[in-house]
Amino acid sequence: MTTLSIIKADTGGFVGHSAVHPDLLATAQEAVRRAVGDGLLLDAHVASCGDDVSLIMTHEHGADSERVHSFAWDTFQQTTEVAKRLGLYGAGQDLLSDAFSGNLKGMGPGYAELEFTERPSEPVICFLADKTEPGAWNLALYKMFADPFNTAGLVIDEKMHAGFRFEVYDLFEEKRITFDCPEELYDMLMFIGAPARYVVHAVQSRNLTEQAAATSTQRLSLIAGKYVGKDDPVMIVRCQSGLPAVGEVLEPFSFPYTVGGAMRGSHHAPLLPVSIPDAHTARFDGPPRVVALGFQVTDGRLVGPRDMFADPSFDSARQQANTAMDYLRRHGPFEPHRLPLEDLEYTTMRALEARIAQRWQPMPEVATSLAR
């Protein structure tokens, strides 16, 4: 079995929260080079989206491997040191704990991991997003694996016709459930349409009993109890031969749907599909972006990446995203640009509530013409 792990963290931004300094990437690249040399990893690629460093790694230690997680933790400690030396912004931001203990659960870094027996040819796409939250993948995964208007294979390919099983996490209650689609589509949509709370964690082919997709499913704010940065999720999707084709996996991003998480983790903004050189944020600390790195996994080797959104066929999505951003921005501090109160990451509201609590009075009883 091969395990593909993406482990990511924001260990310091350059400039502000916009991008990763090249020295951090070089430090991470050197670390993974050594880990491949030592035999811990089969192969690895270091990438970034916005202010997050992603370690894309293949190995044979399975998901939640102590050795692999501890390697990632050590690497992020090293990039944090570099970030501190350069005075980068929010150095070590996502490392919420002082010491590593077993695996990365609840420690800050996000991770998506997928174990599989390599097929004769194994095309995978690694998606990295910045300035949004794990539930940002819900709409895309629904379209890839459950919407025949997106994925022709659900109708046409015999191996896909039985549909897909979605595993959904409730991040508030720390519970999980599976939905078999297409039968349970409407039930599932009731939940995953609320992506701040319900997050698709994994998708499995019902016919092939193969896991097809994995996401990083956590919320830093829930771990830390206060705003400590956004979770900036990652996702792995296997493609072809009874799973959605590469083009079906990319297609959902041709619509720049709006996601939570831009500017101070507190705004909705469109998800902009970009090429790797454009994977850094600017306007209003956004718009939130997604990059897609395509690989062929061959005997554990990561052959690639191909920069999948570096393609003019996504130009109209980008244009639409900019138009949508103009439209939403004009709302300033009003919903629906600003997130609903219960989803606001910053705590001003609580402090404000406390400060003015005594000033609230009951509403006057107004005699309206209807009441009379």
The residues annotated as belonging to the active site are 10, 227, 230
| Phi, psi for 51 (deg, rounded to 5) | -95, 15
Tell me which amino acid residue 306 is: R
Q: Decide whether 17 or 318 has the Cβ nearer to ligand F6R.
A: 17
The dihedral through the CA atoms of 148, 152, 156, 161 has a sign that is: negative
- Is residue 102 within the footprint of ligand F6R (CB under 6 A)? no
| Contacted entry of Mg ion, ligand F6R, none for residue 182, CB cut-off 5 to 8 Å set by kind | none
- Nearest residue by C-beta to ligand F6R? 285
**Residues placed in the known binding site for Mg(2+):** 10, 17, 51-52, 93, 130, 230-232
Which tokens in the block code for residue 258?
A: 């709006």
Q: List the helix and strand counts (H, then E) for the chain.
A: 10, 15
Window 54-93: contact mask with ligand F6R (x via CB under 6 A): ------------------------------------x---
Question: Interface residues for ligand F6R in 253-282 (CB under 6 A)?
Answer: 261, 263-265
Kindly tell me which of 89 and 100 has the beta carbon lying closer to Mg ion: 89
**Residue from 16, 22, 62, 247 that binds ligand F6R (CB under 6 A)?**
16
Tell me which amino acid residue 367 is.
A
| Binding site listing | 10, 17, 51-52, 89, 93, 102-103, 130-131, 230-232, 240-241, 264, 285, 346
> C-beta of 17: minimal distance to ligand F6R in Å?
4
Inter-residue long-range contacts of 359-366, CB under 8 Å, 24+ positions, other chains counted = none
Number of Cβ within 10 Å of residue 105's Cβ equals: 12
On whether the CB atoms of residues 23 and 137 are closer than 8 A, the answer is no
Closest listed residue to residue 234, CA positions, set 110, 128, 113: 128
Binding mask 128-167 for ligand F6R (x = CB under 6 A): ---x------------------------------------
Cβ proximity of 178 and 201 under 8 Å: no
C-alpha to C-alpha distance for 242 and 154, rounded to whole angstroms: 9
Q: Give residues in contact with Mg ion (CB under 5 A).
A: 10, 13, 17, 50-52, 90, 130, 232
Query: Which residues, in sequence order, are bridge partners of residue 164?
Result: 181, 205
Note whether 238 and 116 are within 8 A (CB): yes
Select from Mg ion, ligand F6R, none the partner in contact with residue 261, using the beta carbon and a kind-dependent cut-off of 5 to 8 Å. ligand F6R
Residues lying near ligand F6R in the complex (CB under 6 A): 16-17, 90, 131, 229-230, 261, 263-265, 285
